[in-house]
Structure 1
Amino acid sequence: MVLIRSLPIYLTLLLLEYALLVRSVYSSNAFSRVVQHTHQIAARHTRNIARDLRLAFGAVLVSDPSQQPLDDGRAVYCKSSAAAGNGGQGNNSSSPTGTNSQGTGTSTNSAAVGSPTTSAVSTPWKLIEAHNGSDFFQGWSFFTGSDPTHGVVDYLDINDATSAGLAYVNSAGNAVMSVDTTNNLTSNRKSVRITTSSQYDQGIWILDALHMPTGCGTWPAFWTNGPNWPAGGEIDIVEGVNTYTNNQATIHTNPGCTISSSNSTVLGITGTIVGGTNCAAAETNNQGCGVRSSSDVSFGAAFNKNGGGVYASKLDDTGVSIHFWPAGQVPSDVLAGTPNPSLATWGTPFAQWSSSGCNPNTFFHDHSAIFDTTFCGDWAGSVWTDSGIPGQEQSCAQSTGYPTCEAFVMAEGSAFTEAYWEVKSVKIYQYQS
């Protein structure tokens, strides 16, 4: 336009006339193709700009300085032989150390156990953190300290764990955490323990898993934990040892937290109390308040054979409650990523600790989620010669021919091909009225 304005008037008229003539030569379709091509180029540049912005802002979010590992130095305990005899549960408390992969995962819903046909429902519980798919390990730190429960295990950092093939996302998009299967070891067996970098005072933690570690000598767990154990509290969501088939959930707290009865009906749960009604670690030789699930497909080989399942642990002003749904029985709201515990479809929790005897605002705070697999130690090792627990009708000493858990674990690495987690997702929700 600058050029045209600078030309003499007669030349300007000639040029305009020539342009109109050229325009008439070409069909309207040809002109439309030019316009369309120009639009495509613009759209492609727009998408590239949007992608670059997402990447730039994504990097900022992943490096969020508020997502920091917990402080170290939590107390640990030795499991009492009395607790071992009745199948009591040990403690996995410790803070994450070692290599830290910062971030909060993604909010993309993973494929959940059960029917793929789901519909969203109204719920005040909103997704704030999700770990699934190729980004599953973002936002977890890999613990590399000595095992607080005295197992014959060495936990690897993220680099060594991935190099050894003990931590990865498989072709199905599920996170796998396994153990070394070398026979005749002269040092501890290698494994993985990870902790979320985030901490929450309240929330719902939902685990969707296909497979968990199983077999004599193993002690897997998924739980949430606060700082300065047991001051911040511990909620064991999934835990058991050896060949157990029924999961045990337990809480460990400072003195003052109790449950009102050992009667399941009175407590409004489907599980069975094990260990007593005093949840204080210091006053129960660290045993806490345990509840064994009535479901014989809630743990170990039975859980795996049944296709896995979903666990939901809710911590709010009403207390602590834990639900378990086997594969194919998961409520539609959970599958849809809109969990609503007030719905009848959730059913009765198998474990519950009411705020009337254990104020959650006093005994639980700053909880992170933790996965691990250890061997022997304070629980699995102490019940090696025991029998009569669901799934361990015959003792591991009898079934393996080894007099001690440690001897078996060090020698028989090939026995631990089933000692792995395969996890679809871990999602964390918070109440937002």
Structure 2
Amino acid sequence: MIFRSLPMHLALFLLEFALLTPSVYSSSIFSRAVQQTHRIAARHTKEIARDLRLAFGAVLVSEPIQQPLDNGRTIYCKSGAVAGSSGGGQGNGSAGSSGTNSQGTSTSTKSAAAGSPTASAVSTPWKLVEAHNGSDFFEGWSFFTGSDPTHGVVDYLDENDATSASLAYINSAGNAVMAVDTTNNLADNRKSVRITTNSQYSQGIWILDALHMPTGCGTWPSFWTNGPNSPADGEIDIVEGVNDYTNNQATIHTNPGCTISSSNSTVLGITGTVVGGTNCAAAETNNQGCGVRSSSDVSFGAAFNNNGGGVYASKLDDTGVSIHFWPTGQVPSDVLAGTPNPSLATWGAPLAQWSSSGCNPSTFFSDHSAIFDTTFCGDWAGEVWSDSGIPGQEQSCAQRTGYSTCEAFVKADGSAFTQAYWEVKSVKIYQYQS
């Protein structure tokens, strides 16, 4: 405890003297004192550096930096994240642990890394530029409070209201939870959360490590990226589906002129099935775009949740757009290590891809932010309420619930939405840096 209150310049002098005088430093009492002084000096040095950053605006890569964009939005960037703490299953929660959702029931926190190869860093030109995980997950996101563009039976809460209502929080496993109101017999819309990253990138890899996504009749969850003037700036739907679907659908929506060369999966080199045609123009396809349904029956909804989640990677670069999905236990080790390298064979064939040969990225995609959303009914979930035949939806929601319309069910039966929540370990964004 000696020297705790000494002036810093004197403490540092004594430390340097001790290091240069082995005979004195060998004294156990003096040794402990010097070590304590060193720790204090190190702490104060960090504090001084922090104060200098605040005073002079210096930028260190180990601290979040905010850069203004031309449109007044900001980039929230954590470029100093440690590679080993990045990617699927490497968040704060451990495999097999559990947290609670907004209803107080247990939520799975089984890591998507469970059963995967040991995470190891590899050489890659893709560098981490933004990370959202742990207690500061919601930093760098804006809470959307406007009307649902897809006409859902939903009211989106701002950050304060969502936090107060326990619809947006960090659970005991360190994962972000975004839930919905479960009150029965509502007169108005059901409350939910929609968030958008403040950052915008025209190229990059967005990697989502999630343990749970909203599911059930009436729900329409999605995770996607788009530009500020979508579809002019393009939209890439990474995770999307409705009701009880079990197979994810990835889709792009663009201005006219973007197409895919074939509807044959083998020709396209993908594992999914083309379900939306080959014309990706939103205006020419009634906003259908060109979609690809995953061949994995654990890539969406309750099946995804019951399998312990998984990892999605969306890559936008000069070669085009591609989306990969890995269920729990199959996430490549480079992704787990936070050094993603899409050129590695371990990534396998993508679920979906749209080549630059028919859809030049520099023409159709720019300034993309990432978005989480949970809405109800609307232009998709409501329109297929009485339909069946999609994987997971062998029986229509009208038959399953006994309600003739999606809107009536969503407003009446809030208790049906205890599973309509996101539990996310991390969202990480990488940029190509040669």
Task: State the TM-score, normalized to the length of structure 1.
Answer: 0.83
Residue 229 of structure 1: how far off its partner (Å): 1.4
Change (3 A) 1:201 1:293: same
C-alpha distance in structure 2 between counterparts of 1:424 and 1:55, whole Å = 28
Whether contact under 8 Å (2:258, 2:364) holds in the other structure is: yes
**C-alpha displacement of 1:52:** 1.9
Check conservation: 1:322, 1:352, Cα contact below 8 A: yes
- From the superposition, tell whether residues 31 and 289 of structure 1 become closer, same or farther in structure 2 (CA, over 3 Å): closer
Which runs of structure 2 are paired with 1:118-137 in the superposition (5 Å)? 118-137=119-138
Q: Residue deviations 1:274-302, cap 9 Å, x none?
A: 12110011111111000000000000000
Kept in 1, the 8 Å contact 2:67–2:76? The answer is: no
1:6-17 equivalent positions in 2, closer than 5 A? none
Instruction: Indicate if the aligned counterparts of 1:105 and 1:139 stay in contact, CA closer than 8 A.
Output: no
Gapped regions of structure 2 (runs ≥ 5): 1-22, 58-62, 91-111
Per-residue CA deviation, residues 130-166 of structure 1 (Å, 9 max, x unaligned), is: 1111111111000011101000101111111111000
- Counterpart of 2:68 in structure 1 is 66
Distance change (3 Å), C-alpha of 1:69 and 1:387: farther
CA distance in 1, matches of 2:219, 2:26: 72
Which deviates more, 383-392 or 56-65?
56-65
> Are 2:42 and 1:47 aligned?
yes
Shift of 1:51: 3.9
User: Residues 67 and 103 of structure 1 are in contact (CA less than 8 Å); yes or no, is this contact kept in structure 2?
Assistant: no
SS at match of 1:162: helix
CA distance in 1, matches of 2:349, 2:396: 32
- Which residue does the alignment assign to 2:352? 351
Aligned to 2:339: 338
The residue number in structure 1 matching 2:375 is 374
1:104 to 77, 90, 100: 77
Deviation of residue 29 (structure 1)?
8.1
> Given residue 395 of structure 2, which amino acid in structure 1 is its aligned partner?
Q
Corresponding residue pairs, total: 377
Aligned residue for 1:9? none
Q: Who is 1:157 aligned against?
A: 158
Tell me, in whole angstroms, the C-alpha distance in 2 between the residues paired with 1:231 and 1:275. 19
Structure 1 residue 39 displacement after superposition: 1.2
Report Cα offsets for 1:323-353 as digits up to 9, x if no partner: 0000000011111111111111100001010
**Are positions 1:217 and 2:218 aligned together?**
yes
Moved more, 223-232 or 103-112: 103-112
TM-score computed with the length of structure 2 as normaliser: 0.83
Equivalence for 1:250:
251
Question: Secondary structure at the residue paired with 1:209?
Answer: strand
Cα distance in 2 for partners of 1:30, 1:119 equals: 40
* 3-state secondary structure, aligned to 1:173: coil
Could you list the per-position Cα deviations for residues 362-403 of structure 1 after superposition, in whole angstroms to 9, with x for gaps in the alignment? Answer: 000000000010000000000000000111110000000000
1:28-427 paired onto structure 2 within 5 Å: 32-53=27-48, 55-56=50-51, 62=64, 64-66=66-68, 103-104=76-77, 107-108=81-82, 109-110=85-86, 111-112=89-90, 113-114=112-113, 115=116, 117-427=118-428
Partners in 2 of 1:287 and 1:31 — Cα distance? 75
RMSD: 2.1
Instruction: Give 1:37 deviation, angstroms.
Output: 4.3
Alpha-carbon distance, 1:62 to partner: 4.4
Is 1:260–1:277's contact at 8 Å kept on the other side of the alignment?
yes
Alpha-carbon offset, residue 103 of structure 1: 2.9
Among the aligned pairs, what percent are the same residue? 78
Q: Secondary structure at the match of 2:223?
A: strand
Encode CA deviations 1:7-46: one digit per residue, 9 max, x unaligned: xxxxxxxxxxxxxxxxxxxxx8898245324413421321
CA–CA distance in structure 2, aligned partners of residues 378 and 121 of structure 1:
43
Matched position secondary structure for 2:68: coil
Judging changes above 3 Å, is the alpha-carbon distance between structure 1 residues 241 and 56 closer, same or farther for their aligned structure 2 residues? farther
AA aligned opposite 2:164: S
Paired residues of 1:181 and 1:416 also in contact (CA < 8 A):
yes
**Alpha-carbon distance between aligned partners in 2 of 1:312 and 1:260, rounded to the nearest angstrom:** 23
Letter in 2 for 1:213: P
**Distance (whole Å) between structure 2 residues aligned to residue 183 and residue 401 of structure 1:** 16
Q: Secondary structure at the match of 1:250?
A: strand
1:207-258 per-position Cα deviation (integer Å, ceiling 9, x unaligned):
0000000000000000000121111000000000000000000000011000
**Which deviates more from structure 2 when the two are superposed, residues 43-52 or residues 356-365?**
43-52
| Structure 1 SS opposite 2:77 | coil
SS in 1 for 2:297: coil
SS at match of 1:283: coil
Distance (whole Å) between structure 2 residues aligned to residue 58 and residue 104 of structure 1: 16
Give the equivalent residue in structure 2 for 1:7.
none
Change beyond 3 A, Cα 1:377–1:57? farther
The DSSP-based 3-state class of the residue aligned with 2:66 is coil
Q: Which amino acid aligns with 2:77?
A: T
Structure-2 residue corresponding to 1:78: none
1:52 partner amino acid: E
Query: Would you say the 8 A contact 2:150–2:378 is kept in 1?
Result: yes
| Structure index of larger Rg | 1
CA distance in 2, matches of 1:175, 1:53: 33
